[in-house]
Structure 1
Amino acid sequence: MQYKVYNPCPALEKQVRYYWSLESNPDDLPHSRERIFPDGCIELIFNYRELFIKFENGIASHEQYRTMLYGQLKTFIEVEATGSVGLFSVRFNPAGLQPFINRDVGSLTSRELNITELWGDEGVQLEHDMLKCNSNEERVIIIETFLMQKLQTIAFDNSDVEYCVNALTESEGSITIDLLANQLCIGKRQLERKFNAAVGLSPKMLARIIRFQNTLQLIEKKEFTSFTGVAHDGGFYDQAHFIKDFKEFTGLNPKQYFSENLEMVKHFSFDE
């Protein structure tokens, strides 16, 4: 399985976190469903090999689009490869998509959209150009050309929202919305509306996701001495608070999630 990250050009760094590609042959696949967790970013994914199947409530629901945009996730989704994997994705920053589309990003939350729903015939042409490429380096050039054209024709001032996203990220989800509103000299509700329209989540939900992802990274890197300590370092009030959010975002309790890694599980006390 080959995973590679590509950095955006300087002109797109504010909107695009990075591009990534994933390639794998059928023999390399674990032949199991994969859970994708909320991470505060929106993905535009081009699938140039076999399609994936999406599961809902544990049951196969449908084949996913050849090219699709995932709106913000508030809980996990389950997918499974049907053959060889070839994916190229644009991972937008939390407030990065809106400058390229003429709509409220909040309307895309928890949705899976075909590229034509975003850009019509232009989307069809983009998909055609991306899928016929011989390399992912070519795909970077094509998608950046497209995004730069869109960025020049749609003007958005999301500086307030970008300030909030950066503050939430730097504080690891601990800064309050009241404080952010005061710093920006705007009303709390006005800020929340603007934030949801640009990010697709409330500031509070993004803060929760940031805390969850930061804590998950601490655990996976084994940077902990106790489970309670990890929850505290991740910005959670207590262990019960972390377990609640963990279940909401993964569909599993921590013990289930780490059940296949006994070296990690033995360090935790799961008080539920």
Structure 2
Amino acid sequence: MENIYFQKEATPKLSEIIKGFWQIDKKEDVSIVREKIIPDGYPELIFHYGDPYKTNIDGVWQVQEPNLMAGQIKNHFFLENSGKSKIFGIKLQPWGLNELFDIDMSKLTDKVVEIPIEILRTLAPIKKIGTSTLTFTEKVSNIEDWFVEFLSSLNLKHFKGQDAVQLIIKDQGKTNLKEIRNDIDISERSLERYFKTKIGLAPKYFSRIIRFSHIFKLAQSDNKMDWLDIVFLSGFYDQSHFIKNFKEFTGEDPSKYGFDEKNLANFFLNR
């Protein structure tokens, strides 16, 4: 039996902090599979309630803890299951982890780490729901109710840098950063500082990831496109520039990449 993937966008009243929810439930097939994870620009909270996973981000294989938070990843890395895969995840907006828990995101770049105990205490109701036997839809509904109440107790602030992030995402990473700074009236230094602390990447690199991830939406869309169309719509200068970026983020040539394969990389990048 293949992995069973579930996903749902967050309700509008939570979309300022949460992008969406996902679940992987591999009920029977326990074959060991090594899979690639490709950066998409969003941090996550992840709860394993099946058998452990191993991860290789920096060249060393390590067993993952069951309760994780993932910062911004700059390049692809690998995961390997050890048995049944049962995972519930919350994909946050790029600034979400910082806004919720005042985390310096520069310290989480290229890292997937155990959730600190003080944060895990706060998230205990979320963990309980996410790892329960409820259906995915029931889990999301209950977790959203919890987050609505939790967010009402916080004094969240809106920063100009957040507007820049939203503009980058809206234009699939193609807008010139100078134009964005002018549009929202923020200095280059202030924007760089915002991105370092609250996002974990430089603005230019974040834009590259968002532009790259748009390739997958185009390639997996119902309207089948040839590579020249995808190169143009993704905002690359030419095909060689496109291929170079694709290899940089995936380690593969785009002509050999399996966009229709049911794997974790395609599941995450198609959300």
The correspondence of residues 60-79 of structure 1 with structure 2, limited to 5 A, is 61-79=61-79
Match of 1:215 in 2: 215
1:16 maps to which residue?
18
3-state SS of 1:45 partner: strand
Where 2:140 maps in the other structure, the secondary structure is helix
The one-letter amino acid of 1:11's match is K
> Quick one: distance in 2 between partners of 1:56 and 1:162?
28
Flag the structure with more relative contact order, 1 or 2, with Cα contacts below 8 A and sequence separation at least 6: 2
> Root-mean-square deviation (CA), in Å?
2.8
State the AA in 1 paired with 2:33.
S
Q: How far off its partner does 1:45 sit?
A: 0.9
Counterpart CA distance in 2 for 1:209 and 1:8 is 22
Cα distance between partner residues in 1 of 2:73 and 2:99: 20
Structure 1 residue 96: Cα displacement:
2.3
Once the two structures are superposed, what CA deviation does each residue of 1:156-199 show, in whole Å capped at 9, x if it has no partner? 42342232122112222111111111122221111121133222
Residues 108-257 of structure 1 aligned to structure 2 (within 5 Å): 108-116=108-116, 119=119, 121-123=121-123, 127=127, 130-132=130-132, 134-141=134-141, 143-144=143-144, 146-148=146-148, 150-221=150-221, 223-225=224-226, 227-257=227-257
Q: d(CA) in 1 for partners of 2:141 and 2:260?
A: 40
Separation in structure 2 between the aligned mates of residue 80 and residue 180 of structure 1, nearest angstrom: 40
Q: CA deviation at 1:72?
A: 0.7
Alpha-carbon distance in 1 for matches of 2:166, 2:41: 12
Match of 2:268 in 1: none
| Greater mean deviation of Cα atoms: 99-108 or 35-44 | 99-108
Contact 2:129/2:143 (8 A) holds in 1: no
2 CA distance for matches of 1:57 and 1:108? 13
Q: Corresponding residue for 1:45?
A: 46
The verdict on how the C-alpha distance between 1:247 and 1:117 changes in structure 2, with shifts beyond 3 A counting, is farther
Paired amino acid for 1:231: V
TM-score by length of 2: 0.82
Give the number of equivalent residue pairs: 258
SS at match of 2:73: coil
- For 2:23, give the aligned amino acid: S
> Distance in 2 between the 1:178 and 1:124 partners?
42
Is the 2:55–2:64 contact (alpha carbons within 8 Å) kept by the matching residues of 1? yes
* Cα distance in 2, alignment partners of residues 259 and 163 from structure 1: 31
Name the amino acid aligned to 1:42.
P
Letter in 2 for 1:85: S
AA of the residue aligned to 2:24: L
Change (3 A) 1:245 1:46: same
Cα distance, 1:16 vs. partner? 0.7
Question: Any idea what the Cα deviations from partners look like across 1:219-262, whole Å, max 9, x if unmatched?
Answer: 2347323x33421221011112112211221122224434999x
Residue 267 of structure 1 aligns with which residue?
none
Give secondary structure in 2 for the equivalent of 1:18. strand
Deviates more, 1:197-206 or 1:15-24: 197-206
Letter in 2 for 1:17: K
Give yes or no for contact 1:211–1:235 (8 Å, CA) kept in 2: yes
Q: TM-score, normalised by structure 1?
A: 0.82
Change (3 A) 1:12 1:250: same
Q: Identity of paired residues, percent?
A: 28
